[in-house]
Amino acid sequence: MLSEKIVLDYSIPKTLFIKLSGDWQISAGLLSVNEVTSQLTSHSDVTEVNINVSEDLKWDSGLIAFLLKLTKECEQRKISVVRENLPQGAQKLLSLALKVHEERVLSKISHASFFEKCGEKVLQIRESLASGLDFLGDIVASFIRLIAGKVYFRWDDFLLIVQKCGVDTLLLVSLISLLVGMILAFVGSIQLKMLGAQVFIADIVGISMVRVLAAVMTGIIVSGRIGASFAAELGMMQANEEVDALKTLGVSPVEFLVVPRVLALVIMMPILTIYADLMGVFGGFIISTGMLKLNPVEYLNHTQTAVKLSYVWIGLIHSIVFGVIVAFAGCLRGLECERNAAGVGKATTSAVVTGITGIVFATAIITFICQVLGV
Amino acid sequence: MNLTEMPIVEVQDLDLGYNDNPVMSNISFSVNKGDIFIVMGVSGCGKSTLLKSLIGLKSPTKGKVLYSGKSFWDEDEKGQHDIMRRFGVLYQSGALWSSLTLGENVALPLQLYTKLSFGQIKEIVDFKLSLVGLEGHVDSFPSGISGGMRKRASLARAIALDPDIILFDEPSAGLDPINARKLDDLILDLRDGLGATVIVVTHELASIFAIGNNSVFLDAESRTMIATGDPKDLLANSKDPRVTQFLTRARMQGV
Contact B98 A343 (CB under 8 A): yes
Helices of type H across chain A: 34-42, 61-76, 88-98, 114-147, 155-165, 167-195, 201-208, 214-222, 228-239, 242-248, 253, 259-290, 296-306, 309-335, 341-373
Taking residues A142-159, report their average pLDDT. 88
Higher pLDDT, A317 or B250: A317
Q: Which of B91-95, B177-181, B184-188 has the highest mean pLDDT?
A: B184-188
Predicted pLDDT at A106: 46
The single-letter DSSP state of residue A359 is H
Contact B128 A105 (CB under 8 A): no
Is the pLDDT assigned to residue A121 strictly greater than 50? yes
Is the pLDDT assigned to residue B99 strictly greater than 80? no
Q: How far is CA B164 from CA A60, A85, A172, B32, B114, in A?
A: 11, 24, 52, 11, 16
Considering only CB atoms, A89 lies closest to which of B137, B159, B194, namely B194
Q: Is A27's Cβ below 8 Å from some Cβ in B? A: yes
Q: How many CB atoms lie within 10 A of CB A110?
A: 9
Q: How far is CA A73 from CA A36, A70, A336, in A?
A: 10, 5, 46
Taking residues A72-79, report their average pLDDT. 90
Could you tell me which CATH class the domain A6-98 is placed in?
alpha beta
Chain B residues touching residue A64 (CB < 8 angstroms): 127
Contact B167, B144 (CB under 8 A): no
pLDDT band of A163, cuts 50, 70, 90: very high
Contact B128, B90 (CB under 8 A): no
Beta bridge mates, A81: A49
d(CA B232, CA B214) in angstroms, rounded, equals: 9
Task: Work out the burial of residue B20: count CB atoms within 10 Å of its CB; fewer than 13 is exposed, 13-18 middle, 19 or more buried.
Answer: exposed
Mutate to test the interface with B, among A24, A25, A30 (most CBs of B within 10 A): A30
Predicted pLDDT at A105: 47
Per DSSP, chain B holds a count of helices (H) and strands (E) of 9, 10
Domain residue spans of chain A: 6-98, 138-373
Of B65, B56, B59, the C-alpha closest to B17 is B59
Q: Name the 3-class secondary structure at B15.
A: strand
pLDDT band of B1, cuts 50, 70, 90: very low
Q: How many CB atoms lie within 10 A of CB A227?
A: 32
Contact A65 B194 (CB under 8 A): no
Contact B192 A92 (CB under 8 A): yes
Contact B144 A108 (CB under 8 A): yes
- The alpha carbon of residue A34 is apart from the nearest alpha carbon of chain B, in Å, by 13
Q: Which of A189-193, A360-364, B218-222 has the highest mean pLDDT?
A: A360-364
Mutate to test the interface with A, among B120, B125, B129, B191 (most CBs of A within 10 A): B120
Pairing of strands B87-90, B165-169: parallel
Chain B residues touching residue A68 (CB < 8 angstroms): 126-127, 130
Of A137, A274, A146, A150, the C-alpha closest to A214 is A274
Predicted pLDDT at A101: 55
Chain A residues touching residue B145 (CB < 8 angstroms): 103, 105-106
Contact B127 A65 (CB under 8 A): yes
Give per-residue pLDDT as tens, A172-217.
999 999 999 999 999 998 888 888 888 899 999 999 999 999 999 9
Taking residues A223-235, report their average pLDDT. 95
**Is the sign of the CA dihedral A107, A100, A89, B183 positive or negative?**
positive
Q: Is B237's Cβ below 8 Å from some Cβ in A? A: no
Q: Name the 3-class secondary structure at A16.
A: strand
Q: What is the DSSP string of B66-105?
A: EETTEEGGGS-HHHHHHHHTTEEEE-TT----TTS-HHHH
Helix (H) or strand (E) run with residue B199 in it:
strand B197-201
pLDDT band of A328, cuts 50, 70, 90: very high
